[in-house]
Amino acid sequence: MTTRTRTFNRTSDTLREISFQPGIAPQSSGSVLVSFGRTQVLCAASIEEGVPRWMKEQGVIGGWLTAEYSMLPYSTSPRKSRDSTRGKIDGRSTEIQRLIGRSLRAGIDLEVLGSRTLWVDCDVLQADGGTRTAAITGASVAIAMACQKLMKEGKLIKSPVSRRIAAVSVGVVGSEVLLDLDYLEDKDAEVDLNLVMTGDLEFIEIQASGEESVFGDDQLAKMLEYGRRGITQLVAKQEEILKSL
């Protein structure tokens, strides 16, 4: 049992309330509004016939998946300026959208996708910690929906989705390991870890760093243990919402 007072009376190894609202962007091929507590991210997958020029030039077979990530101005306080106003994407957004893209590519067979580009847009409507993990988890659902649509339209014989992908944050706050940090916890964290895994609990990416601190084997083992618990629950929720469609 946690010794800290957490939002929603959570224990140290408890996720925030997780929800998926599908079909939020009907013009896309698949979309979902994912909520990790107060964090809300709109994830939409769009399919475009054709692939990037570099794939054609290099003779790469199959399709491609690419992701874009943006925090909308009203998602934080104070207001965050739009990238278009600044004239460039900030470094943090660039790093996160690359993480989202490579994470999601681990869950799809690009050869089965065929000569198509799968665009994944992740727009943060409200930020309260864990926006990148919510984006990856929600985008995995949006991609599955988009591929189901391709199959219904007779454009694919089987789905290129090979595995579910989910992500969760873990950290050390006040010397205590906590799962799924909100903003206030993340702000005070001595250690911050973002974990991306498959539904079979295989690792895709681990991002861990000491925030002016260090961590040992025991803390790392506990963070990974909590992370696996969180991933298992997230994948179960992904499967639940997809089966309901």
For the segment 104-123, what is each residue's pLDDT rounded down to a tens digit? Answer: 999 999 999 999 999 999 99
pLDDT at 212: 80
Specify the pLDDT at position 181: 97
Token code pair at residue 103? 């994470």
| CA 239 from centre of chain | 15
How much is the CA Rg of the chain, to the nearest whole Å?
Answer: 18
Which residue ranges form the domains of the chain, and what is each CATH number? 17-243 (3.30.230.70)
In the chain the first and final C-alpha atoms are separated, in Å, by 36
User: Residues 44-80, buried b or exposed e (16+ Cβ, 10 A)?
Assistant: bbbbeeebeeebeeeeeebbbbbbbbbbeeebeeeeb
pTM flag (> 0.85)? yes
Among 82, 3, 72, residue whose Cα is nearest residue 41: 72
The pLDDT score that the predictor gives to residue 7 is 79
**What SS3 state is found at 141?**
helix
Is residue 31 a contact partner of residue 44, using CB atoms and an 8 Å limit? yes
Q: What is the CB neighbour count within 10 angstroms for residue 169?
A: 28
Position 1 scores a pLDDT of 43
pLDDT at residue 86 in the model: 72
DSSP lists the bridge partners of residue 75 as none
Q: What span, in angstroms and rounded, lies between the C-alpha atoms of 217 and 185? A: 22
DSSP E strands: which ranges in the chain? 18-22, 30-36, 39-49, 64-71, 116-126, 165-173, 176-179, 191-198, 203-210
Q: For a pLDDT cut of 90, what percent of the chain falls above it? A: 87
What was the pLDDT predicted at 3?
57
Ranges in the chain, pLDDT < 70: 1-4, 84
Q: Which pLDDT does position 70 carry in this prediction?
A: 94
**Residue 147 corresponds to which amino acid?**
C
C-alpha dihedral sign at 111, 113, 117, 120: negative
